[in-house]
Amino acid sequence: MKHKTIYVLDPLNLTEISDDRRSLHEDITSVLHSALCRCLAQYFDDWVLSEAPWSRTYPMLARKNFSEKESGIVAAYLSRNFDGKSVDVAIDEEVYARTQQRLLYELLELEGNMSTLPDDVVKAMSRFE
């Protein structure tokens, strides 16, 4: 079944969202939704578009809120683990640390990386293989 729902994942507001923040997201998602509809109309002649606004859902995906400095790791975690409705494991400090370590490992293992890593770093990274 299709649902016309926009899921708003805000890495800075994962346990609750203020009215001001919700209002900001309503404005932004309206602009993005309009742009999506214009693209669909432009490239797909037979796509049925509805003028009705879609509902917004603000899923609570963490046990705590994270700082702006931490939001990039949180966003990466959510982009990998959000299944369209939820995440299997809500992000907390432990999940955050594992995600941070995993991302660092993947960056260091990128194809074409010609740097030489210290032995202790290589040993620590071996647990991710």
- Beta-carbon contacts of residue 15 (< 8 Å; ≥ 6 apart): 60, 62, 63, 64, 65
| Average pLDDT along the chain | 86
Ranges assigned E (strand) in 43-117: 55-57
Angle at 65 between CA 59 and CA 67, to 5 degrees: 130
**pTM assigned to the model:** 0.75
Q: Write down the domain spans for the chain.
A: 5-128
Structure tokens at 103: 């991302």
Token match 């993005």: residue?
32
For residue 124, CA distances in Å to 101, 120, 128, 129 come to 10, 6, 8, 10
Average pLDDT over residues 31-47: 89
Tens digit of pLDDT for each residue in 83-128? 988 888 889 999 999 999 889 888 887 888 887 777 777 777 777 6
**pLDDT (0 to 100) of residue 11:** 86
Is a pLDDT exceeding 60 seen at residue 1?
no
